[in-house]
Amino acid sequence: MIDDDEDVLLAAKMLLKKHNYQVIIEKNPNKIPFLLNNDVYDVILLDMNFSKDTTSGKEGFEWLAKIKERDSQAVVIMITAFGDVEMAVRALKEGATDFILKPWQNEKLIATISTAIKLKRSYNEVDKLRKAKQMLEEQISQPFRDIIGSSPAMKEVYDLIDRVAGTDANVLILGENGTGKELVARAIHQKSLRKDNSFVAVDMGAITETLFESELFGHKKGAFTDAREDRPGRFELANDGTLFLDEIGNLSLNLQSKLLNALQSRRVTRVGANTSVEVNIRLICATNMPIEQMVKDGRFRQDLLYRINTVEIRIPPLSERVDDIPMLANHFLDYYARKYHKDILSITPEAMTKLKKYAWPGNVRELQHSLERAVIMADSQTLQESDFLFSRKGDTTMNPDTLNLDEVEKAAVVKALQLHNGNISKAADELGLTRASLYRRMEKYGL
Protein backbone atom coordinates (compact mmCIF):
# COMPACT_ATOMS: atom_id res chain seq x y z
CA MET A 1 0.00 0.00 0.00
CA ILE A 2 1.39 3.41 -1.03
CA ASP A 3 -0.08 6.51 0.59
CA ASP A 4 1.50 9.72 1.91
CA ASP A 5 -0.70 9.66 5.02
CA GLU A 6 1.08 7.53 7.64
CA ASP A 7 -2.05 7.23 9.80
CA VAL A 8 -3.97 5.77 6.86
CA LEU A 9 -1.17 3.29 6.19
CA LEU A 10 -1.00 2.08 9.79
CA ALA A 11 -4.78 1.79 10.10
CA ALA A 12 -5.00 -0.25 6.90
CA LYS A 13 -2.10 -2.48 7.93
CA MET A 14 -3.66 -3.26 11.32
CA LEU A 15 -7.00 -4.06 9.69
CA LEU A 16 -5.52 -6.29 6.98
CA LYS A 17 -3.21 -8.19 9.37
CA LYS A 18 -6.31 -9.27 11.31
CA HIS A 19 -7.40 -11.01 8.08
CA ASN A 20 -4.02 -12.76 7.69
CA TYR A 21 -2.71 -10.54 4.92
CA GLN A 22 1.01 -9.73 4.76
CA VAL A 23 1.15 -5.97 4.17
CA ILE A 24 4.01 -3.75 3.00
CA ILE A 25 3.38 0.00 3.47
CA GLU A 26 5.27 2.95 1.95
CA LYS A 27 4.81 6.72 2.15
CA ASN A 28 7.11 7.66 -0.74
CA PRO A 29 5.82 6.67 -4.23
CA ASN A 30 9.33 7.08 -5.65
CA LYS A 31 10.21 3.81 -3.96
CA ILE A 32 7.66 1.89 -6.04
CA PRO A 33 10.26 0.70 -8.63
CA PHE A 34 12.50 -0.58 -5.82
CA LEU A 35 9.62 -2.42 -4.17
CA LEU A 36 8.54 -4.03 -7.44
CA ASN A 37 12.10 -5.20 -8.10
CA ASN A 38 12.41 -6.88 -4.73
CA ASP A 39 9.11 -8.64 -4.29
CA VAL A 40 5.91 -9.79 -5.96
CA TYR A 41 2.56 -8.49 -4.74
CA ASP A 42 -0.89 -9.97 -5.15
CA VAL A 43 -2.50 -6.52 -4.86
CA ILE A 44 -1.18 -2.94 -4.93
CA LEU A 45 -3.21 -0.28 -3.12
CA LEU A 46 -2.22 3.07 -4.65
CA ASP A 47 -3.18 6.53 -3.46
CA MET A 48 -4.01 8.93 -6.29
CA ASN A 49 -2.80 12.17 -4.74
CA PHE A 50 0.58 12.90 -3.22
CA SER A 51 2.61 16.04 -2.52
CA LYS A 52 2.26 17.79 -5.89
CA ASP A 53 -1.50 18.26 -5.58
CA THR A 54 -4.39 16.89 -3.57
CA THR A 55 -7.33 16.48 -5.92
CA SER A 56 -6.46 15.88 -9.58
CA GLY A 57 -5.19 12.30 -9.27
CA LYS A 58 -2.44 13.11 -11.77
CA GLU A 59 0.35 11.50 -9.74
CA GLY A 60 -1.71 8.40 -9.13
CA PHE A 61 -2.35 7.96 -12.86
CA GLU A 62 1.36 8.48 -13.59
CA TRP A 63 2.36 5.79 -11.10
CA LEU A 64 -0.38 3.47 -12.34
CA ALA A 65 1.04 3.75 -15.85
CA LYS A 66 4.57 2.99 -14.61
CA ILE A 67 3.38 -0.04 -12.62
CA LYS A 68 1.44 -1.46 -15.57
CA GLU A 69 4.41 -0.83 -17.86
CA ARG A 70 6.59 -2.97 -15.59
CA ASP A 71 3.93 -5.65 -15.08
CA SER A 72 0.89 -5.65 -17.33
CA GLN A 73 -0.85 -8.13 -15.00
CA ALA A 74 -0.32 -6.11 -11.82
CA VAL A 75 -3.57 -5.83 -9.82
CA VAL A 76 -3.88 -2.19 -8.69
CA ILE A 77 -6.66 -0.69 -6.56
CA MET A 78 -6.75 3.11 -6.65
CA ILE A 79 -7.56 5.02 -3.43
CA THR A 80 -8.48 8.70 -3.02
CA ALA A 81 -10.47 11.04 -0.83
CA PHE A 82 -11.38 13.20 -3.82
CA GLY A 83 -12.94 10.80 -6.32
CA ASP A 84 -15.83 11.01 -8.70
CA VAL A 85 -17.37 8.76 -11.31
CA GLU A 86 -15.30 10.24 -14.14
CA MET A 87 -12.04 9.63 -12.26
CA ALA A 88 -13.05 6.06 -11.40
CA VAL A 89 -13.89 5.28 -15.02
CA ARG A 90 -10.57 6.69 -16.17
CA ALA A 91 -8.68 4.62 -13.58
CA LEU A 92 -10.33 1.43 -14.81
CA LYS A 93 -9.64 2.32 -18.45
CA GLU A 94 -5.95 2.87 -17.67
CA GLY A 95 -5.56 -0.53 -16.04
CA ALA A 96 -6.72 -0.27 -12.44
CA THR A 97 -8.67 -3.23 -11.10
CA ASP A 98 -10.91 -1.26 -8.75
CA PHE A 99 -11.41 2.12 -7.07
CA ILE A 100 -11.99 2.86 -3.36
CA LEU A 101 -12.89 6.18 -1.68
CA LYS A 102 -11.47 7.34 1.68
CA PRO A 103 -12.67 6.99 4.33
CA TRP A 104 -13.53 3.42 3.40
CA GLN A 105 -15.80 0.91 5.04
CA ASN A 106 -13.69 -1.92 6.43
CA GLU A 107 -15.95 -4.63 5.03
CA LYS A 108 -15.86 -2.97 1.60
CA LEU A 109 -12.05 -2.77 1.64
CA ILE A 110 -11.65 -6.43 2.67
CA ALA A 111 -14.15 -7.59 0.05
CA THR A 112 -12.44 -5.57 -2.68
CA ILE A 113 -8.98 -6.92 -1.80
CA SER A 114 -10.27 -10.50 -1.59
CA THR A 115 -11.77 -10.22 -5.07
CA ALA A 116 -8.56 -8.65 -6.39
CA ILE A 117 -6.45 -11.49 -4.97
CA LYS A 118 -8.64 -14.06 -6.72
CA LEU A 119 -8.12 -12.13 -9.96
CA LYS A 120 -4.34 -12.14 -9.46
CA ARG A 121 -4.35 -15.88 -8.83
CA SER A 122 -6.32 -16.43 -12.02
CA TYR A 123 -3.72 -14.36 -13.91
CA ASN A 124 -0.97 -16.54 -12.42
CA GLU A 125 -2.79 -19.73 -13.34
CA VAL A 126 -3.40 -18.56 -16.90
CA ASP A 127 0.27 -17.60 -17.23
CA LYS A 128 1.34 -20.98 -15.90
CA LEU A 129 -1.02 -22.79 -18.29
CA ARG A 130 0.20 -20.66 -21.20
CA LYS A 131 3.83 -21.59 -20.52
CA ALA A 132 2.92 -25.25 -20.04
CA LYS A 133 0.92 -25.23 -23.30
CA GLN A 134 3.82 -23.65 -25.15
CA MET A 135 6.21 -26.28 -23.82
CA LEU A 136 3.74 -29.05 -24.63
CA GLU A 137 3.30 -27.80 -28.20
CA GLU A 138 7.06 -27.69 -28.68
CA GLN A 139 7.35 -31.26 -27.46
CA ILE A 140 4.41 -32.52 -29.54
CA SER A 141 5.95 -31.01 -32.70
CA GLN A 142 8.93 -33.34 -32.37
CA PRO A 143 8.79 -36.33 -34.76
CA PHE A 144 8.87 -40.03 -33.80
CA ARG A 145 7.16 -39.76 -30.44
CA ASP A 146 6.14 -43.44 -30.48
CA ILE A 147 8.42 -46.35 -29.68
CA ILE A 148 8.96 -48.69 -32.63
CA GLY A 149 10.11 -52.29 -32.38
CA SER A 150 8.85 -55.82 -31.83
CA SER A 151 12.06 -57.64 -30.89
CA PRO A 152 12.20 -59.72 -27.68
CA ALA A 153 14.42 -57.06 -26.07
CA MET A 154 11.84 -54.35 -26.72
CA LYS A 155 8.96 -56.55 -25.58
CA GLU A 156 10.64 -56.69 -22.18
CA VAL A 157 10.72 -52.89 -22.15
CA TYR A 158 7.02 -52.70 -23.10
CA ASP A 159 6.18 -55.11 -20.28
CA LEU A 160 7.99 -52.93 -17.72
CA ILE A 161 6.25 -49.81 -19.05
CA ASP A 162 2.84 -51.46 -18.62
CA ARG A 163 3.69 -52.64 -15.10
CA VAL A 164 4.95 -49.28 -13.80
CA ALA A 165 2.83 -46.77 -15.72
CA GLY A 166 -0.30 -47.01 -13.57
CA THR A 167 1.66 -46.28 -10.39
CA ASP A 168 3.39 -43.11 -9.21
CA ALA A 169 6.69 -44.95 -8.70
CA ASN A 170 9.83 -43.04 -9.66
CA VAL A 171 11.52 -44.59 -12.70
CA LEU A 172 15.16 -44.56 -13.79
CA ILE A 173 15.76 -45.29 -17.48
CA LEU A 174 19.22 -46.50 -18.47
CA GLY A 175 20.58 -46.72 -22.00
CA GLU A 176 23.15 -45.46 -24.48
CA ASN A 177 22.72 -42.16 -26.32
CA GLY A 178 20.16 -42.40 -29.10
CA THR A 179 18.29 -45.45 -27.78
CA GLY A 180 15.04 -43.57 -27.11
CA LYS A 181 15.01 -43.01 -23.35
CA GLU A 182 12.72 -39.98 -23.64
CA LEU A 183 10.27 -41.96 -25.79
CA VAL A 184 10.01 -44.54 -23.01
CA ALA A 185 9.43 -41.77 -20.46
CA ARG A 186 6.65 -40.32 -22.61
CA ALA A 187 5.09 -43.75 -23.03
CA ILE A 188 4.98 -44.18 -19.24
CA HIS A 189 3.32 -40.77 -18.90
CA GLN A 190 0.74 -41.50 -21.61
CA LYS A 191 -0.27 -44.73 -19.88
CA SER A 192 -0.40 -43.15 -16.41
CA LEU A 193 -3.21 -41.53 -14.44
CA ARG A 194 -1.45 -38.20 -15.08
CA LYS A 195 -1.72 -38.42 -18.87
CA ASP A 196 -4.10 -35.43 -19.10
CA ASN A 197 -1.53 -33.17 -17.40
CA SER A 198 1.85 -31.89 -18.50
CA PHE A 199 4.90 -33.94 -19.41
CA VAL A 200 7.89 -31.66 -18.86
CA ALA A 201 11.31 -32.77 -20.10
CA VAL A 202 14.56 -31.23 -18.87
CA ASP A 203 18.03 -31.89 -20.33
CA MET A 204 20.13 -31.76 -17.17
CA GLY A 205 23.32 -31.88 -19.19
CA ALA A 206 22.45 -28.55 -20.81
CA ILE A 207 21.76 -26.66 -17.55
CA THR A 208 24.69 -24.73 -16.10
CA GLU A 209 25.44 -24.63 -12.38
CA THR A 210 24.28 -21.01 -12.13
CA LEU A 211 20.95 -21.54 -13.92
CA PHE A 212 19.99 -24.81 -12.24
CA GLU A 213 17.68 -23.35 -9.58
CA SER A 214 16.13 -20.83 -11.96
CA GLU A 215 15.34 -23.49 -14.57
CA LEU A 216 14.00 -26.11 -12.16
CA PHE A 217 12.51 -24.01 -9.38
CA GLY A 218 11.71 -20.75 -11.22
CA HIS A 219 12.54 -17.15 -10.36
CA LYS A 220 10.97 -13.84 -9.48
CA LYS A 221 11.27 -10.76 -11.62
CA GLY A 222 14.46 -8.89 -10.69
CA ALA A 223 16.03 -11.89 -8.92
CA PHE A 224 19.02 -11.53 -11.25
CA THR A 225 20.04 -9.46 -14.26
CA ASP A 226 18.07 -11.31 -16.94
CA ALA A 227 15.01 -12.04 -14.79
CA ARG A 228 12.64 -9.67 -16.60
CA GLU A 229 9.46 -11.41 -15.46
CA ASP A 230 8.22 -13.92 -12.94
CA ARG A 231 8.80 -17.40 -14.30
CA PRO A 232 7.69 -20.77 -12.93
CA GLY A 233 10.31 -23.51 -12.94
CA ARG A 234 10.00 -26.94 -14.50
CA PHE A 235 8.80 -28.43 -11.22
CA GLU A 236 5.82 -26.04 -11.11
CA LEU A 237 5.05 -26.56 -14.81
CA ALA A 238 4.98 -30.31 -14.23
CA ASN A 239 2.67 -30.04 -11.20
CA ASP A 240 0.11 -32.88 -11.25
CA GLY A 241 1.96 -34.28 -14.27
CA THR A 242 5.31 -35.93 -15.04
CA LEU A 243 8.79 -34.40 -14.75
CA PHE A 244 11.44 -36.09 -16.91
CA LEU A 245 15.06 -35.33 -15.97
CA ASP A 246 17.32 -36.52 -18.78
CA GLU A 247 21.09 -36.96 -18.37
CA ILE A 248 20.77 -36.81 -14.58
CA GLY A 249 24.21 -38.41 -14.24
CA ASN A 250 25.76 -35.10 -15.34
CA LEU A 251 24.74 -33.24 -12.18
CA SER A 252 27.46 -32.12 -9.80
CA LEU A 253 27.24 -33.24 -6.17
CA ASN A 254 26.14 -29.73 -5.18
CA LEU A 255 23.21 -29.77 -7.62
CA GLN A 256 22.36 -33.35 -6.63
CA SER A 257 21.91 -32.11 -3.07
CA LYS A 258 19.54 -29.32 -4.15
CA LEU A 259 17.53 -31.71 -6.29
CA LEU A 260 17.29 -34.26 -3.48
CA ASN A 261 16.03 -31.61 -1.07
CA ALA A 262 13.24 -30.61 -3.48
CA LEU A 263 12.25 -34.24 -4.05
CA GLN A 264 12.16 -35.03 -0.34
CA SER A 265 10.20 -31.93 0.70
CA ARG A 266 8.04 -31.87 -2.45
CA ARG A 267 8.36 -28.09 -2.29
CA VAL A 268 10.33 -25.59 -4.38
CA THR A 269 11.31 -21.98 -3.77
CA ARG A 270 11.71 -19.65 -6.72
CA VAL A 271 14.98 -17.74 -6.87
CA GLY A 272 14.40 -14.43 -5.10
CA ALA A 273 11.24 -15.62 -3.31
CA ASN A 274 10.67 -15.89 0.43
CA THR A 275 8.07 -18.65 0.36
CA SER A 276 8.04 -22.17 -1.09
CA VAL A 277 5.44 -23.80 -3.32
CA GLU A 278 4.17 -27.36 -2.92
CA VAL A 279 4.48 -29.53 -6.03
CA ASN A 280 2.99 -32.89 -6.94
CA ILE A 281 5.00 -34.60 -9.67
CA ARG A 282 5.71 -38.07 -10.98
CA LEU A 283 9.49 -38.28 -11.49
CA ILE A 284 11.20 -40.11 -14.34
CA CYS A 285 14.98 -39.84 -14.81
CA ALA A 286 17.39 -41.12 -17.43
CA THR A 287 21.12 -41.42 -17.94
CA ASN A 288 23.61 -43.05 -20.28
CA MET A 289 26.27 -43.14 -17.56
CA PRO A 290 27.27 -46.08 -15.27
CA ILE A 291 25.41 -44.62 -12.31
CA GLU A 292 26.00 -47.55 -9.92
CA GLN A 293 29.75 -47.20 -10.47
CA MET A 294 29.45 -43.44 -10.00
CA VAL A 295 27.92 -44.08 -6.55
CA LYS A 296 30.86 -46.34 -5.66
CA ASP A 297 33.28 -43.66 -6.86
CA GLY A 298 31.53 -40.97 -4.81
CA ARG A 299 30.38 -39.05 -7.89
CA PHE A 300 26.65 -39.65 -7.38
CA ARG A 301 24.72 -39.57 -4.11
CA GLN A 302 23.43 -42.95 -3.05
CA ASP A 303 20.41 -41.43 -1.29
CA LEU A 304 19.46 -39.62 -4.51
CA LEU A 305 19.81 -42.85 -6.51
CA TYR A 306 17.48 -44.60 -4.05
CA ARG A 307 15.02 -41.73 -4.48
CA ILE A 308 14.92 -41.81 -8.30
CA ASN A 309 15.04 -45.54 -9.14
CA THR A 310 12.14 -47.28 -7.49
CA VAL A 311 11.88 -49.09 -10.83
CA GLU A 312 14.75 -49.35 -13.33
CA ILE A 313 14.27 -49.81 -17.08
CA ARG A 314 17.20 -50.57 -19.39
CA ILE A 315 16.81 -49.70 -23.07
CA PRO A 316 18.82 -52.07 -25.30
CA PRO A 317 21.19 -50.58 -27.90
CA LEU A 318 20.18 -50.98 -31.53
CA SER A 319 22.91 -53.63 -31.98
CA GLU A 320 20.90 -55.86 -29.60
CA ARG A 321 17.66 -55.43 -31.53
CA VAL A 322 18.73 -55.91 -35.14
CA ASP A 323 15.34 -57.37 -36.06
CA ASP A 324 13.79 -53.94 -35.44
CA ILE A 325 16.00 -52.17 -37.98
CA PRO A 326 13.72 -52.78 -41.04
CA MET A 327 10.67 -51.48 -39.16
CA LEU A 328 12.56 -48.41 -37.95
CA ALA A 329 14.17 -47.73 -41.33
CA ASN A 330 10.86 -47.86 -43.18
CA HIS A 331 9.26 -45.61 -40.57
CA PHE A 332 11.98 -42.98 -41.00
CA LEU A 333 11.87 -43.39 -44.80
CA ASP A 334 8.14 -42.65 -44.86
CA TYR A 335 8.52 -39.63 -42.59
CA TYR A 336 11.40 -37.98 -44.47
CA ALA A 337 9.99 -38.78 -47.91
CA ARG A 338 6.88 -36.80 -46.95
CA LYS A 339 8.87 -34.06 -45.23
CA TYR A 340 11.15 -33.44 -48.22
CA HIS A 341 8.50 -34.19 -50.89
CA LYS A 342 10.53 -37.05 -52.34
CA ASP A 343 8.86 -39.90 -54.22
CA ILE A 344 10.88 -42.64 -52.52
CA LEU A 345 8.95 -45.82 -51.88
CA SER A 346 11.32 -48.50 -50.57
CA ILE A 347 14.77 -49.70 -49.54
CA THR A 348 16.45 -52.42 -51.60
CA PRO A 349 17.18 -55.77 -49.88
CA GLU A 350 20.92 -55.15 -50.33
CA ALA A 351 20.65 -51.76 -48.63
CA MET A 352 18.59 -53.26 -45.81
CA THR A 353 21.21 -55.95 -45.31
CA LYS A 354 23.84 -53.23 -45.05
CA LEU A 355 21.76 -51.46 -42.42
CA LYS A 356 21.36 -54.66 -40.38
CA LYS A 357 25.09 -55.47 -40.49
CA TYR A 358 26.21 -52.02 -39.33
CA ALA A 359 27.04 -51.73 -35.61
CA TRP A 360 25.10 -48.45 -35.04
CA PRO A 361 27.22 -46.88 -32.28
CA GLY A 362 24.79 -43.93 -32.35
CA ASN A 363 21.79 -46.26 -32.04
CA VAL A 364 18.32 -45.27 -33.31
CA ARG A 365 19.26 -41.59 -33.58
CA GLU A 366 22.11 -42.48 -35.96
CA LEU A 367 19.76 -44.66 -38.03
CA GLN A 368 17.30 -41.78 -38.19
CA HIS A 369 19.97 -39.35 -39.41
CA SER A 370 21.25 -41.89 -41.96
CA LEU A 371 17.76 -42.28 -43.43
CA GLU A 372 17.25 -38.52 -43.55
CA ARG A 373 20.54 -38.00 -45.38
CA ALA A 374 19.83 -40.86 -47.78
CA VAL A 375 16.37 -39.50 -48.64
CA ILE A 376 17.77 -36.03 -49.29
CA MET A 377 20.56 -37.29 -51.56
CA ALA A 378 18.72 -40.12 -53.37
CA ASP A 379 18.08 -39.83 -57.12
CA SER A 380 15.68 -42.76 -57.53
CA GLN A 381 12.47 -44.08 -55.98
CA THR A 382 14.40 -46.78 -54.14
CA LEU A 383 17.20 -46.32 -51.64
CA GLN A 384 20.29 -48.21 -52.77
CA GLU A 385 23.19 -49.63 -50.78
CA SER A 386 25.35 -46.76 -52.05
CA ASP A 387 22.99 -44.20 -50.49
CA PHE A 388 24.25 -45.14 -47.01
CA LEU A 389 27.73 -43.80 -46.38
CA PHE A 390 29.24 -45.71 -43.47
CA SER A 391 31.50 -48.69 -42.88
CA ARG A 392 29.78 -52.05 -43.33
CA LYS A 393 31.23 -53.18 -39.98
CA GLY A 394 30.32 -49.99 -38.16
CA ASP A 395 34.00 -49.15 -37.76
CA THR A 396 34.18 -45.46 -36.85
CA THR A 397 37.96 -45.32 -36.61
CA MET A 398 40.23 -43.82 -39.26
CA ASN A 399 43.50 -44.62 -40.89
CA PRO A 400 46.11 -42.97 -38.62
CA ASP A 401 48.12 -41.94 -41.66
CA THR A 402 45.30 -40.00 -43.32
CA LEU A 403 45.46 -36.25 -43.76
CA ASN A 404 41.82 -35.93 -44.81
CA LEU A 405 40.39 -33.20 -42.59
CA ASP A 406 36.93 -34.75 -42.38
CA GLU A 407 38.39 -38.07 -41.25
CA VAL A 408 40.64 -36.36 -38.73
CA GLU A 409 37.71 -34.36 -37.33
CA LYS A 410 35.47 -37.43 -37.24
CA ALA A 411 38.13 -39.43 -35.38
CA ALA A 412 38.52 -36.62 -32.83
CA VAL A 413 34.77 -36.52 -32.24
CA VAL A 414 34.58 -40.31 -31.86
CA LYS A 415 37.54 -40.35 -29.45
CA ALA A 416 36.05 -37.59 -27.29
CA LEU A 417 32.68 -39.37 -27.12
CA GLN A 418 34.34 -42.65 -26.20
CA LEU A 419 36.55 -40.96 -23.60
CA HIS A 420 33.52 -39.50 -21.84
CA ASN A 421 31.18 -42.49 -22.28
CA GLY A 422 28.92 -40.61 -24.70
CA ASN A 423 28.46 -37.57 -22.41
CA ILE A 424 27.75 -34.78 -24.91
CA SER A 425 28.55 -31.89 -22.56
CA LYS A 426 31.94 -33.27 -21.49
CA ALA A 427 32.88 -34.34 -25.02
CA ALA A 428 32.03 -30.86 -26.32
CA ASP A 429 34.22 -29.28 -23.63
CA GLU A 430 37.05 -31.65 -24.51
CA LEU A 431 36.83 -30.62 -28.18
CA GLY A 432 36.41 -26.91 -27.44
CA LEU A 433 32.93 -26.90 -29.01
CA THR A 434 29.43 -25.97 -27.91
CA ARG A 435 26.91 -28.79 -27.50
CA ALA A 436 25.08 -27.56 -30.61
CA SER A 437 28.31 -27.63 -32.66
CA LEU A 438 29.10 -31.14 -31.50
CA TYR A 439 25.59 -32.34 -32.38
CA ARG A 440 26.03 -30.88 -35.89
CA ARG A 441 29.28 -32.80 -36.36
CA MET A 442 27.75 -36.00 -35.01
CA GLU A 443 24.93 -35.61 -37.52
CA LYS A 444 27.42 -34.82 -40.30
CA TYR A 445 29.37 -38.04 -39.66
CA GLY A 446 26.38 -40.21 -38.78
CA LEU A 447 27.45 -40.70 -35.15
pLDDT of the chain, 447 residues: tens digit per residue: 998 888 889 988 999 998 888 899 998 888 998 888 777 889 999 988 776 555 667 888 888 898 988 888 889 998 877 666 677 778 888 888 888 888 888 888 899 999 998 888 888 777 777 766 666 655 554 444 568 888 999 999 999 999 999 999 999 999 998 999 999 999 999 999 999 899 999 999 888 888 899 999 988 888 787 777 888 899 999 999 999 999 999 999 999 999 999 999 999 999 888 888 999 999 999 999 999 999 999 999 999 999 999 999 999 999 999 999 999 999 999 999 999 999 888 999 999 999 999 999 999 999 999 999 999 988 888 999 888 877 443 444 444 455 567 777 888 888 888 777 778 888 888 887 888 788 888 878 878
Burial of 158 (0-12, 13-18, 19+ CB in 10 A): middle
This prediction's pTM = 0.59
Contact 144, 331 (CB under 8 A): yes
Q: Do 318-394 and 396-447 show the same overall fold? A: no
Contact 336, 291 (CB under 8 A): no
User: Can you give the pLDDT at residue 61?
Assistant: 87
Other C-beta atoms closer than 10 Å to the C-beta of 427 total 23
DSSP single-letter state for residue 279: -
Architecture of domain 318-394: Orthogonal Bundle (1.10)
User: Can you give the pLDDT at residue 134?
Assistant: 64
User: Can you give the pLDDT at residue 403?
Assistant: 58
Helix (H) / strand (E) containing 18: helix 6-18
Contact 112, 77 (CB under 8 A): yes
Contact 38, 222 (CB under 8 A): yes
Q: Where are the domains of the chain?
A: 6-120, 142-316, 318-394, 396-447
For residue 48, give the nearest of 64, 66, 60, 63 by alpha carbon: 60
Pick one of 2.60.40.10, 1.10.4080.10, 3.40.50.300, 1.10.10.60 as the CATH number of 396-447: 1.10.10.60
Architecture of domain 142-316: 3-Layer(aba) Sandwich (3.40)
The domain covering 6-120 belongs, at the CATH homologous superfamily level, to Response regulator (3.40.50.2300)
For residue 74, give the nearest of 120, 130, 129 by alpha carbon: 120
User: Can you give the pLDDT at residue 392?
Assistant: 41
